[in-house]
Chains A and B, each alone.
Chain A
Amino acid sequence: MTVPSEVAARTTPHTVKRGASSPRDRHRTRTNAPRGRTSFWPYLLVAPTVLLIGAVLGYPVVRNVVMSFQEFGLRELVQGAPAFVGLANYRELFADHVFWEVVVRTLAFTAVNVVLIMVLSTLVALMLARLGRVLRVAVMTGLVVVWAMPVIAATTVWQWLFQSRFGVVNWVLVQLGLDQFQDYSWLANGSATFALIVVLVVWQSVPFAALTLYAGLTTVPAELFEAARIDGAAGWALFRRITFPVLRSLFGLIASLEVIWVFKCFVQIWAISEGGPNDATTTLPVYAYQVAQTLNRYDLAGAVSVITVVVLTILLLVYFRQSLRQETNR
């Protein structure tokens, strides 16, 4: 069966994105505002926020961009007076194969994490919707606890779990008869380290996505599912034909938030592996940090972070463009 698109449009929590763009909302806004002249109030109210963001975010970003066009090393940091070098830093980066490896690795890291996060959190959300009251509260509590756990604390516990000599993971594996894990150094192996960090990041991100999706699920009218079931839909078909289309924009929003979160993920990687071994877990943010802090090449690091922002923007533009097209199609 197919859901009439009007039904979907009316029942979705589209206010998240559609908001003022729907004709109804626009009308309402206009009647509330004083007619005929532009009020200065909105601007005045928003001014402190804009100024604060400009000061704490805008200024460093501008400094960073400027630095990426300068020669800026330890000497310039201490003595000042950096010279402009045009695009030299960018040229140096683009000519470096290490940089391209890092870019590809970052994209792969983001893809793997986001796919896992979306799949797992969808499953958890669907499960939550079906659980009885007690179990649901138990699962939600578990999710909230994970979400509330400070990143560094969680990461430290993770390190202890996988510690080569005293870690409980190796102990369990050895107890299970896998003797090759006696004193196994997880962090000496590139793929193992990569996988370990992926699992950590996914574990930390699933709660937010799952809880948000679950909240979305509760807004889908039960009649829709009933009608679909009468028409013979079940399981996967129900999800594909009803749940997903109805919550499409919510899925899109969470996916983009997770892309941002994973792409700029730094603390977990740095605390666990510092980008090692042999750069196996060096993503763009880690690379920028290494270039700045170990090589003292603040100029190159500035260029790397500018590129990071550009790549992220491109990724998100693809998403926004697509969802915009869906809006107009509707």
Chain B
Amino acid sequence: MQTLTSGPLVTKTYEVNVRKNRFAASALAAGLAASLAACSSGTSEDPSGEATTIDVWLMRDSVTDAFLDEFVADFEADNPNTDVNVQIQEWDGIGQRVVSAIASNDAPDVIEVGNTQVAQYAASGGLTDLGDKVSELGGADWIPGLAEPGRIGDAQYGIPYYAANRVVVYNTELFEAAGITGPPTTRDEWIAATTTLNSGDVQGIYLPGQNWYALAGFVWDEGGDLAVQDGETWKGALDTPEALAGMDFYAQLQALGKGPKDSDEANPPQVDVFSAGDVAQIIATPGAGRQIVEANPELEGKIGYFPVPGKTADEPGAVFTGGSNLVIPVATSHPDEAYTFVAALAGDEWQEKLAVAMSYVPNKTTLADVLADDPGAAAMAIGAHNGHATPNSPEWAAVEANNPIKNYMTQVLTGADPNEAATTASEAITSALSGG
């Protein structure tokens, strides 16, 4: 998963991110990545053994400021000999940074990684196997979509952290003004409502051209997929009639607003666009609602949520189940402290608080009740019944790293022949999934 939510900087950057763009070196150096990887910044260690500092990488929009302050203070109180240094990382280009971190001798002690990327890191052998801790952590209740990607056989490399899927976040005031009484429950109703909303200065929906998670949902709705497995090999499947129908619907919806055709939901951050007040809908995780109100307090109480509508009212639209895992690199110098940290953050107490703070689904099915009063989470829970994962290949991270689907979408939206563009993109996916 690349970007769960996109939005303003809801979290404070605890330390300037010095590692970003470490690889902005010349291409000739590309092959030299291995030798460079060792020069990462250090974990500080008190030689007297009094206090240990553990470095933790969390992702943008993983936690709120307040949550992080509270959690860290509590953790340090419980573990007086451990100091926690949290760095907030951006999703963009995170793959390279994690790869170089786990390949170094001096990795961060705990890293949050996306659930579609964890399989690749696990297969590399750079992550600590926590298989013997699973029962201690209550692993039997973990959400399968989070636990499985981080598991190889009996070895558990990724510890489930949180999950989320996308819903439609809407401006209730604009809906009322347009005379739309209830949220749409089918695609046809959705298009009709959005068309009505999209008049004057109001954008019916702000859907940037490259929200490929949304496209994936529409493709799944049609019975297609991004890639299909054929024996041992994977093939890109954007050129199937089903996938093309999904793209067709995306284009139809995208036209009902002013979303740029050549960028994704993070650029510009779509919650910022929404918070200006003239956008009726965006497709985002429910946490976006909180960020919108932070950016523009006048929208307090005017944010509603509904599941992405499906083709019929009986079934919600298919959605991508995104989420994160916590991993401990083999190269950590503080495996015990790192595990203590993971156990606390993935433990029930803080999972419940995190779920409430961020409208995320907690890592255990048994904790789902904490979201009962959260309207965004309720919409998310309905959508989750039709949740899907990206193709289950360890190479999938390579597709996301240089995403041909985004390019394909822009091409189609700017007038290219969908069949041709889909064939090209499918070939690119096939090639990335074959590891070369």
Contact = CB atoms under 8 A, between A and B. Distances in A.
Contact of B436 (A67, A188, A288, A300): A300
Given A185-B414, A264-B27, A165 B34 contact: no
Interface residues of B, number: 42
Interface string A279-297: 0000011111111111111
Contacts of A294: 95, 398, 401-402, 432
A39 interface: no
B34 A67 contact: yes
A276 B124 CA distance: 28
B26 A266 contact: yes
Interface in B16-60: 23-24, 26-35, 37
A92 B398 contact: no
Interface string B206-250: 000000000000000000000000000000000000000000000
A276 B421 CA distance: 13
Interface in A278-330: 278, 284-302, 304-305, 308-309
B435 A297 contact: yes
Interface stretch (A72-80, A137-145, A223-231): A72-80
B261 A64 contact: no
Given A277-B410, A286-B27, A298 B102 contact: no
A98 B428 CA distance: 11
Chain A's interface size range is 35 or more
Interface in B88-110: 95-96, 99, 102-103
A63 interface: yes
B26 A78 contact: no
A312 B34 CA distance: 24
A274 B96 CA distance: 15
Contact of A305 (B24, B27, B125, B402): B27
Contacts of A164: 260-262
A277 B407 contact: yes
A266 B26 CA distance: 6
Given A60-B35, A183-B261, A293-B23, A188 B28 contact: no
A309 B401 contact: no
Nearest to A66: B31
A287 B432 CA distance: 13
B103 A78 contact: yes
A288 B30 contact: yes
A187 interface: yes
Contact of B30 (A74, A189, A276, A291): A291
A121 interface: no
Given A63-B34, A284-B27, A294-B401, A75 B407 contact: no
A267 interface: yes
Contacts of A77: 33-34, 37, 99, 103, 124
A68 interface: yes
A75 B123 contact: yes
B435 A295 contact: yes
Contacts of B33: 77, 292-293, 298
Interface of A: 59-60, 63-64, 67-68, 72-75, 77-79, 92, 98, 164-165, 183, 185, 187-189, 264, 266-267, 274-278, 284-302, 304-305, 308-309
10 contacts: A59-B35, A164-B261, A189-B414, A278-B428, A288-B28, A289-B30, A290-B402, A292-B31, A296-B398, A301-B30
Interface of B: 23-24, 26-35, 37, 95-96, 99, 102-103, 120, 123-126, 258, 260-262, 330, 398, 401-402, 407, 410-411, 414, 416, 424, 428, 431-432, 435-436
